Amino acid sequence: MSERRGTQAEQLAESWLTRQGLSPVGRNFRGAGGELDLIMREGDTLVMLEVRHRSDARHGNAAESITPGKQQRLMRAAELFLLRHPEQRRLSVRFDVVAFDGELKLPPQWLKDAFRP
């Protein structure tokens, strides 16, 4: 996914998730070899979001593109985020995926609790 398309997907996902009741906390947090695209809050849960877009399914759909290695990097980045933001540690943490297949249009596929540490 090009950087421009990635930014568009993240912006679209964030505005859509906000309309679903989540509150933005952060965006594009980099650390420990990984990047958290969006960090949002839903009630007492801190939601770490990976936004994926695949314009064509020749190599699988967007959600399937998150390998176990990618999951590990996201979890390490989340650990670093929580170390740097101790005020967020009282919340439970969930990893979600927002996936766009084909055109960037709503609604995306939203996989809540897509994987666990």
What is the per-residue pLDDT for 23? 98
For the chain, the structural domain boundaries read: 3-115
Residues of the chain with pLDDT below 50 are none
What is the per-residue pLDDT for 57? 59
The DSSP secondary-structure symbol of 22 reads: -
Q: Is the peptide bond before 107 cis (omega within 30 degrees of 0)?
A: yes
What is the per-residue pLDDT for 6? 85
What is the per-residue pLDDT for 33? 86
pTM above 0.85, yes or no: yes
What is the per-residue pLDDT for 47? 98
Burial of 62: CB neighbours in 10 Å, binned 0-12, 13-18, 19+: buried
User: Where does 3-115 sit in CATH, by number?
Assistant: 3.40.1350.10
